[in-house]
């Protein structure tokens, strides 16, 4: 068939710093998804967008076109409002696990479509798959029933949501255009809006273990995503949170599930509890639910009850023992003093090299692998005491994991230590 536009015309417009029209954007996304625009042409356009940017209208339209490439879910028939959370990824970021059942226990349905890990950032589905019997793949009808019955579901996104994004994401990964904020924002938001949630809270990580290392760039990404959500009619807010230090005291799959259960039981690391409650409060506010304090739902056990029901609904056994690694190696403190730095990237790379993560999407992961942190920045340590425990099924992995941790922590004078706030900023619709 005759095409309505020409790929070279669209590339040239953006290359020369111009705005793309709505019809051009609609056509190029549709044509690329159909195969009428070649990979090399879309790669050229992505590079032009990286270099010259997009305005708010262009980004909103680009996102809308990606949503239109597939199906859109609808939760309006549910008996309660919906809210979802998206994290841009970090080390030890197990927040989704306690957060989804907690928010559900407060009366808001949580349709959490999640992914698997790649590189140093852990994947929510990999963590949950360490629970015996638990399954990530649900059909839309199953998802709807579980949301009505339990109130929360964490599962894999179906292939029908924003297929244009899946194709474009793979292209960006091999053409050095991943960093383009309009393309990052539209990639995340096209899937979240297509998912059909009524409210969305974004956790945009900042620091060494995050995709965004710089606070100003992270704020720009947050503002772009909040604008996209707002323009699409989804109540959207973002928190900028610190990822210079890992979250909690574990990085790995079963290790993080165990820690999440501790939080649901009313314990767990203070930073994980703090961020879980901060995000829960934002989700409840955006969903229009008032007069409920999520801290009470942790204390009274109702969040834990919802967790157990959610795990069972997806075939898992919440009472079954979690996998443990066959081998461990203890890293001891080389000196006495205050742990002033524990670098998130160093810990994330170590966990990855121990087998908790993957280099390619098709690689397997070890359920029991990861890093356990016995001290966090601000803690006093004594020479020779355990600082980290490395877990893996394959002891030959220890050497490379230890290389990752070389220079990844500092022990010094406690007087010079200044803690970084966990929540750095909040971005709402302007």
Which amino acids are annotated catalytic? 86, 165, 172, 187, 191
Alpha-carbon distance of 430 to 421, in angstroms, equals: 24
Q: Any idea what DSSP says for residue 82?
A: B
Q: Which DSSP symbol is given to 291?
A: S
Length of the chain: 430
Q: How far apart are CA 46 and CA 173, in angstroms?
A: 11
- Distance (Å, rounded) from C-alpha 131 to C-alpha 308? 11
Is residue 342 classed as helix, strand or coil in its secondary structure? strand
Q: List the beta strands (DSSP E) in 193-306.
A: 199-206, 235-242, 250-252
Specify the residue for token string 């524990």: 342
- Measure CA 273 to chain center: 17
Say if CB 86 and CB 204 are below 8 A apart: no
Direct distance between the N- and C-terminal alpha carbons of the chain, in angstroms, rounded to an integer: 43
User: Both tokens of residue 178?
Assistant: 């991943």
Dihedral of CA 171/173/176/180: which sign? positive
């Amino acid at each position: 068939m005759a095409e309505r536009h020409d790929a070279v015309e669209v590339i040239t417009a953006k290359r020369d710093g111009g705005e793309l029209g709505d019809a051009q954007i609609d056509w190029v996304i549709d044509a690329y998804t159909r195969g009428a625009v070649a990979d090399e042409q879309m790669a050229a356009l992505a590079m032009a967008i990286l270099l010259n940017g997009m305005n708010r209208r262009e980004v909103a339209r680009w996102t809308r076109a990606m949503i239109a490439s597939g199906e859109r879910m609808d939760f309006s028939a549910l008996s309660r409002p919906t809210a979802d959370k998206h994290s841009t990824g970090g080390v030890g970021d197990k927040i989704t696990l306690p957060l989804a059942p907690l928010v559900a226990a407060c009366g808001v349905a949580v349709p959490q479509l999640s992914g698997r890990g790649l590189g140093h950032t852990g994947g929510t589905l990999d963590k949950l798959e360490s629970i015996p019997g638990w399954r990530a793949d649900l059909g839309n009808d199953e998802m709807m029933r579980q949301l009505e019955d339990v109130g929360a579901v964490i599962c894999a996104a179906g292939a029908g949501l924003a297929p244009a994004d899946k194709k474009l994401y793979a292209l960006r990964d091999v053409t050095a255009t991943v960093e383009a904020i309009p393309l990052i924002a539209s990639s995340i938001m096209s899937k979240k809006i297509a998912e059909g949630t009524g409210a969305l809270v974004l956790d945009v990580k900042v620091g060494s273990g995050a995709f965004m290392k710089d606070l100003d760039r992270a704020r720009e990404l947050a503002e772009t995503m909040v604008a996209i959500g707002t323009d699409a009619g989804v109540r959207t807010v973002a928190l900028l949170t610190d990822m210079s230090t890992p979250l909690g005291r574990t990085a790995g799959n079963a290790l993080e599930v165990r820690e999440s259960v501790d939080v649901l039981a009313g314990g767990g690391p203070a930073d994980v509890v703090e961020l879980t409650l901060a995000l829960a409060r934002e989700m409840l506010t955006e969903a229009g639910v008032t007069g409920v304090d999520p801290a009470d739902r942790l204390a009274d056990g109702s969040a834990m009850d919802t967790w157990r029901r959610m795990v069972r609904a997806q075939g898992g056994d919440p009472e079954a023992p979690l996998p443990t690694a066959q081998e461990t190696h203890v890293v001891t403190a080389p000196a006495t003093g205050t742990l002033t730095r524990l670098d998130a990237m160093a810990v994330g790379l170590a966990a990855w090299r121990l087998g908790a993560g993957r280099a390619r999407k098709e690689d397997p992961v070890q359920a029991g692998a990861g890093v356990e942190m016995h001290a966090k920045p601000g803690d006093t340590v004594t020479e020779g005491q355990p600082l980290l425990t490395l877990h893996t099924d394959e002891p030959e992995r220890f050497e490379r994991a230890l290389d990752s941790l070389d220079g990844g922590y500092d022990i010094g004078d406690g007087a010079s230590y200044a803690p970084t706030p966990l929540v750095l900023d909040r971005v709402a619709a302007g």
